Amino acid sequence: MQAIMETLFDAVYLTTVITIGIIMIVKSKGNNQYLLFGIMAVVLGFGDSFHLVPRAFALCTTGLENYTTALGIGKFITSITMTFFYILLYYVWRIRYNVKGKTGLTVSFYLLAAARIVLCLFPQNAWTSANAPLSWGIYRNIPFALIGILIIVLFYQSAKRVDDKSFKYMWLTIVLSFAFYIPVVLWADVYPMIGMLMIPKTCAYVWTVLIGFFDMKRSAQ
């Protein structure tokens, strides 16, 4: 039952975000904000597919324990693509709220993104091992969490300042995604059921994508 339900959920999720992303890219019509949002959605779906497709295949065949290498490589790729997802979201923020300058903020953002990617590249992560160390899971997620906090603060302050109703809850989608993701990083190996929190985390990201998509549709009316 888990294999069927999880596979269906993942298939719907990947199809939804990639399709929305392609639609936004095609219909952006020179609007860089929606173009970036579309690319962002495709990066999200494409990156997650490297982990979710092998996971679905494993669940539907001989089990997760027999696909440790494929799942580990997929998790590594997803970790990198999610970093690019937030870089793109940062530039959506800059374009939407007509942000100029703030070089220090941009440099800080790139330094955190670079730190995240470099930490992911260390062999100590043992991506393809069945017993990857928790400590490195924490290390590589520290700069990632700081990136998330920056995005949350930026969208919350900007949307509130200009009374941006369309992006009113963008900050909340990121809060929820991290709120569901962090317990998985910390405790999923000890308590496997905590891994179920990845479902609402995924839903939070779908909400993020839908905010941009519906805003584009409203602007076209």
Question: In this structure, are residues 213 and 24 in contact, taking their beta carbons and an 8 Å threshold?
Answer: yes
Question: Tens of pLDDT along 53-104?
Answer: 988 888 888 777 778 899 899 999 999 999 999 999 999 999 999 999 999 9
122 has pLDDT over 90: yes
> pLDDT confidence of 208, banded at 50, 70, 90?
very high
Which pTM value belongs to this model? 0.93
Rounded to whole angstroms, the Cα distance separating 218 from 33 reads 14
**Half-sphere exposure in the Cβ direction for 196 (13 Å, CA):** 7
Instruction: Please give the average per-residue pLDDT across 209-215, as a whole number.
Output: 96
User: Which pLDDT belongs to residue 29?
Assistant: 87
Structural domains in the chain plus CATH codes: 2-219 (1.20.1070.10)
Rounded to whole angstroms, the Cα distance separating 140 from 124 reads 11
3-state secondary structure of 203: helix
| Tokens coding 144 | 């990632």
Sequence-separated (6 or more) residues with CB below 8 Å from residue 134: 186, 189
